[in-house]
């Protein structure tokens, strides 16, 4: 702009008529003056808009999980909600969460009898899933003897997988959900087909030997995530020659995290500001919008009766963690791994004994987070063993907590395959 202004000045200087020169100088001053004022106001408005956008910090999306009985739920809770409440009535019809849920007629899927919580160590849970068990199923029409098998609860597993996908669609970094209770919620499957699909199951008694006393048939998982529905109106906008629909959603609680879930699936951009959420889509306007809200935890105002202490994926990132995050590669030493693990609250129940690269011998297979898949060009990965000592050997969730920590380490590398060992 300054070059064009100097060029016009040079051309005006060549004008011989003084009247014309004065008129051209006035036009030059007025036009460029107004143009500069307009440009400055546009840039100021853009800077103000950018400054108003909120880069929600990581703790806004911390997930807290717990388990309680149905009678222990707090209907007025403001921070803990049943996990399966995320699935609306009829939403299972699309097949996304259909396994393990009744259909519209109330019929159970083939063989599905119910879900139970088995409060024992991970190896004991694994042994219970290896072979069928004898069970007595009490229905409204009488008692039925049958054989059942146990498997990880599919509705819970599928719902957490869906949650990870929502982080991806919102283009937001996510961390593994630390939910050790998930791997103790087991679906009960009738392997003989003795119980009719339309029978109302009143009670199930399964012979698990010495583990029978650790079974809870009315346990539910809870977390600090709820779903809110908003009606929106879209207005057209354009940027860089591309038109889009802009939806404004006012938010009252700006100290919680939000993820947008579109009714009509398509790529979108979500921008948070002090005025609320601005959602931009290109294909079509959204008539309604669902938001996943990650509530702040305040147990002083919650009356949920938990069976076990809450678990969380929260981590306290220190100055060294923020510096290390800028590095392109991690140096996998015991000190570096210790620094990374100490940031997680879940690690407070362990002591790091050692890490062992290329550990010889066969290592036991473990359940890492089943929703994480690493895509590596390497045909074979070096195995890195994490050796932990639990501070409380009676903690029934020690293996699941270790799996959470291993999954977080696995997210940081594709050239290594992490495994874990518990040493009492």
Q: pLDDT for 271-328, tens place per residue?
A: 887 778 888 888 888 878 889 999 998 888 889 999 999 999 998 877 677 666 666 6
pLDDT reported for residue 399 = 92
Same domain, 285 and 178: no
Q: Are residues 336 and 233 in the same domain?
A: no
The whole-angstrom separation of Cα 187 and Cα 154 is 7
My answer on whether 231 and 151 are in the same domain is no
Same domain, 209 and 238: no
Residue located via tokens 């003056």 = 33
**Quick check: 96 pLDDT over 60?**
no
- The mean predicted confidence, pLDDT, of the chain is 82
**In the listed set 202, 218, 234, which residue is the last one of a domain according to the structure?**
218
Asked if the structure places residue 307 within a domain, the reply is: no
pLDDT at 375 over 80: no
Burial of 424 from C-beta contacts in 10 A (0-12 / 13-18 / 19+): exposed
Domain limits for position 265: 225-294
Same domain, 277 and 354: no
Burial 222-256 (b: 16+ CB within 10 A, else e): bbbbbeeebebebeeeeeeeeebbbbebebeeeeb
Question: How high is the pLDDT of residue 413?
Answer: 80
Domains held by the chain: number: 4
A 10 A CB-CB count for 351 gives 13
Residue 232 sits in the same domain as residue 207: no
Mean pLDDT over 232-237 rounds to 83
* Residues 122 and 188 grouped into a single domain: yes
More confident residue, 213 or 255: 213
The pTM score is: 0.79
Q: Tell whether the model's pLDDT for residue 376 goes beyond 50.
A: no
- Report how far residue 83's alpha carbon sits from residue 115's, in angstroms, rounded to the nearest whole number: 14
| Domain co-membership, 280 together with 371 | no
pLDDT interval class at 362 (50, 70, 90) = low
208/114 same-domain check: yes
Residue 416 β-bridge partners = 382
Digit-coded pLDDT (tens) for 3-46: 666 766 777 777 778 777 777 777 777 777 777 788 888 877 77
Q: Alpha carbon 303 to chain centroid distance?
A: 25
Distance of CA 99 to the CA centre of its chain: 21
């Amino acid at each position: 702009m300054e070059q064009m202004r100097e060029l016009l000045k040079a051309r005006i200087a060549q004008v011989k008529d003084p009247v014309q020169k004065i008129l051209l100088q006035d036009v030059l001053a007025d036009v460029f003056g107004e143009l500069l004022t307009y440009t400055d106001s546009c840039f100021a408005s853009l800077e103000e808009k950018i400054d108003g956008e909120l880069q929600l910090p990581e703790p806004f999306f911390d997930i807290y999980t717990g388990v309680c009985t149905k009678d222990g739920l707090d209907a007025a809770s403001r921070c803990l909600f049943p996990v399966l409440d995320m699935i609306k009535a009829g939403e299972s019809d699309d097949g996304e969460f259909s396994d393990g849920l009744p259909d519209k007629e109330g019929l159970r899927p083939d063989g599905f009898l119910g879900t139970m919580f088995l409060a024992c160590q991970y190896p004991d849970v694994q042994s219970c899933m290896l072979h069928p068990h004898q069970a007595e199923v009490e229905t409204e029409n009488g008692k039925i003897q049958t054989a059942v098998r146990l498997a990880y609860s599919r509705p819970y597993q599928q719902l957490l997988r869906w949650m990870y996908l929502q982080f991806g669609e919102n283009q937001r970094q996510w961390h593994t959900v630390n939910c050790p209770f998930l791997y103790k919620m087991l679906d009960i499957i009738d392997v003989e087909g003795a119980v009719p699909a339309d029978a109302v199951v009143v009670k199930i008694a399964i012979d698990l030997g010495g583990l029978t006393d650790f079974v809870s048939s009315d346990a539910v998982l809870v977390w600090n995530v709820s779903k809110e529905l908003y009606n929106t109106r879209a207005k057209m906008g354009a940027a860089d020659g591309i038109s889009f629909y802009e939806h404004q959603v006012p938010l009252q609680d700006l100290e919680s995290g939000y993820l947008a879930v579109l009714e009509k699936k398509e790529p979108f951009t979500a921008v948070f500001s002090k005025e609320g959420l601005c959602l931009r889509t290109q294909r079509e306007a959204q008539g309604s919008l669902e938001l996943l809200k990650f509530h702040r935890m305040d147990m002083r105002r919650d009356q949920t009766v938990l069976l076990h202490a809450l678990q969380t994926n929260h981590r306290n990132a220190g100055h060294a963690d923020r510096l290390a995050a800028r590095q392109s590669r991690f140096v996998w030493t015991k000190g570096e791994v210790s620094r990374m693990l100490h940031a997680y609250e879940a690690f407070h129940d362990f002591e790091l004994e050692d890490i062992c690269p290329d550990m010889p011998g066969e290592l036991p297979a473990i359940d890492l987070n089943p929703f994480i898949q690493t895509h590596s060009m390497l045909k074979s990965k070096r195995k890195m063993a994490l050796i932990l000592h639990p501070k409380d050997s009676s903690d029934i969730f020690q293996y699941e907590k270790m799996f959470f920590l291993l999954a977080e380490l696995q997210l940081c590398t594709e050239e290594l395959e992490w495994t874990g060992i518990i040493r009492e």
